[in-house]
A = this chain, B = another copy of it.
Amino acid sequence: MAVTLKNIAAICGVDISTVSRALRDDPKVQPLTRKKIQQQASELGYVPNLAARNLVSGKTLNLWMIIPDMELPVVREPACFLSKSLKRQGYDLLLTLYHHDSDNFKHKMSRLSQNVADGAFVIPGFDEEVKEVTALLRNNFPLVFIDRGMNIPQSTTVTTTNTRAAAELTEKCLEAGAEKFILFFQENNTAAEARLRGAIELLEARNIPFIVADNADAGTTDFIKDGRLAMLSSSAYAPGELSKKYGNAKLIVGVFDAWSGLTEKFSHIFVCKQDFKGIAEQAAKVMLRKINDKSHDNGFIEVPSLPLETLKSEYPVRK
């Protein structure tokens, strides 16, 4: 079967410990034997058995990233950047999907405590408490949440300056003439909560009427009648749906990451893109610190969002 140290040792007539050393370029091994062993190993196509190596070292050089699916940029982009940058540090990033299924999520988390990875990035999808997560945290397993956290005290989350970004979007809509707001930030995660907070703070300070809505059914309330309406949302979905039910007057909208769908029903479309590369860089840095220095820095690390983009503006906004 697979070539082992033992095979090489037998052929070269040395002890397997010498082979082990030679193959790890240990200077203590005589250059000549080292050469001979290395050559023999490559001829036989020797490849170390990581399971065995890990058993000794306790390291796998694998990092997992546990994600709900691959549909959104907020998942794919950080994953892509992380994969590239961690490769340079000698780690393989392995993505695994839990398909928005809570049991599946728990299963993936429990695999982490079985020595399959040296750490993991997580994009969570539940606010319920998951005991597998708290167990990992308690054992100081390196865990970094991306985009949104799980509201667990001892955890680290790398995300965007969501509160500020939402306030900026709100401000922009006001400049475009918005007189009232519908806020769609009901995803029930820390990112949506922060966005909601940012919008509400500003609107309350300015005394602007607003409602917080679950979905496009808000379009059936009286609230939307008369006056220029603005909508804020994490994705283009809810605004798109609501606009279909809306009358003739044009809507103002502010969304995160990307607009998608038709644009006719809107007078202004503002997009706040997150700095996914920056998020990945921060996440990688924190992860390596956790692995190497056993650092325990927790809490939220906020990466500034990119400058607001105006996708559509039928008339100039007032300053």
The reply to whether B87 and A80 contact each other, CB–CB distance below 8 Å, is: no
Q: How far is the CB of A63 from chain B (nearest CB, A)?
A: 10
Determine chain A's interface SS by DSSP, over half rule: mixed
Give Cα A113–Cα B54 distance, bound, in whole angstroms: 15
For residues 20 through 79 of chain A, which have their beta carbon under 8 Å from a beta carbon of chain B? 45, 47-52, 54-55, 60, 62, 64, 69-71, 76, 79
A166 to chain B, nearest CB (A): 28
Q: Which of A51, A55, A95, A104 has the most chain B CB within a 10 Å cutoff?
A: A51
Q: Which residues of B contact A80 (CB under 8 A)?
A: 69-70, 97, 99
Contact residue among B45, B50, B69, B96 (Cβ-Cβ distance under 8 Å from A94) = B96
Pairwise interchain contact A76-B70, C-beta atoms closer than 8 A: yes
| Complex: A108 Cα to B108 Cα, angstroms | 22
Q: Is A207 an interface residue (CB 8 A)?
A: no
With CB as the reference atom, state the residue of chain B lying closest to A116: B50
Report the Cα distance A51→B96, complex, angstroms.
19
The reply to whether B45 and A114 form a contact with Cβ atoms under 8 Å apart is: no
Q: Mark A102-123, 1 if CB is under 8 A from B, else 0.
A: 0010011011011110000000
Nearest chain B residue, comparing its CB with the CB of A57: B51
Contacts of A2 in B (CB 8 A): 113, 139
A139 contact set on B, CB distance < 8 A? 1-2
A160 lies within 8 A of chain B by Cβ: no
Q: Which residues of B contact A62 (CB under 8 A)?
A: 116
- The residues of B that contact A97 with a CB separation of less than 8 Å are 79-80, 83, 93, 95
Q: Determine whether the beta carbon of B69 is less than 8 Å from that of A115.
A: no
> Would you call A249 an interface residue if the criterion is a C-beta within 8 Å of the partner chain's C-beta atoms?
no
Report the minimal beta-carbon distance from A129 to chain B, rounded to whole angstroms.
16
Within 8 A of B (CB), among A206-250: none
Minimal Cβ-Cβ distance residue in B for A56: B51
Contacts of A45 in B (CB 8 A): 135
Residue of B nearest to A60 (CB): B51
A257 at the interface (CB under 8 A from B): no
Name 26 interchain pairs, CB-CB below 8 A, sorted by A.
A2-B113, A2-B139, A47-B110, A47-B113, A48-B114, A49-B114, A50-B116, A51-B51, A51-B55, A51-B60, A51-B115, A60-B116, A64-B94, A69-B80, A70-B80, A71-B76, A79-B97, A83-B96, A83-B97, A83-B99, A87-B104, A93-B96, A93-B97, A94-B96, A95-B95, A95-B97
